[in-house]
């Protein structure tokens, strides 16, 4: 969604009306930056969309040739979103996850 020619309120309304999950809509609205007469994304959404459009997305899959892969990690951030799968190549990430 190109937000460069939209006012912040117009872009937020469009997101809220077109994203069925209220929590995801809130996440996207929080990532809009109000620039007065228009707005912009706070993250590089164009490159993310281009990467996800690839046959094998680098963002959604982790290949062994990228480096160390300690395994899958499932972290729940209930206050912010539903289930979130975090792929990481650092073992230090496991220090922030409670172990059962």
pLDDT in tens, 37-78: 889 888 888 888 888 888 877 777 766 666 655 566 555 555
Q: Domain boundaries in the chain? A: 8-53, 64-96
Residue range 78-96: average pLDDT?
58
What's the N-to-C CA distance of the chain in angstroms?
Answer: 41
How buried is 39 (Cβ within 10 angstroms: 0-12 exposed, 13-18 middle, 19+ buried)? Answer: buried
pLDDT band at 100 (very low <50, low <70, confident <90, very high): very low
């Amino acid at each position: 969604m190109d937000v460069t020619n939209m006012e912040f309120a117009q872009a937020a309304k469009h997101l809220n009306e077109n994203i069925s999950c209220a929590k995801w809509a809130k996440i996207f609205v929080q990532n809009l930056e109000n620039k007065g007469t228009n707005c912009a994304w706070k993250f590089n959404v164009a490159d993310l969309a281009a990467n996800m459009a690839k046959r094998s997305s680098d963002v959604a899959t982790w290949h062994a040739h990228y480096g160390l892969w300690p395994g899958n990690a499932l972290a729940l951030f209930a206050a912010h979103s539903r289930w979130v799968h975090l792929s990481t190549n650092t073992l230090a990430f496991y220090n922030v996850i409670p172990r059962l």
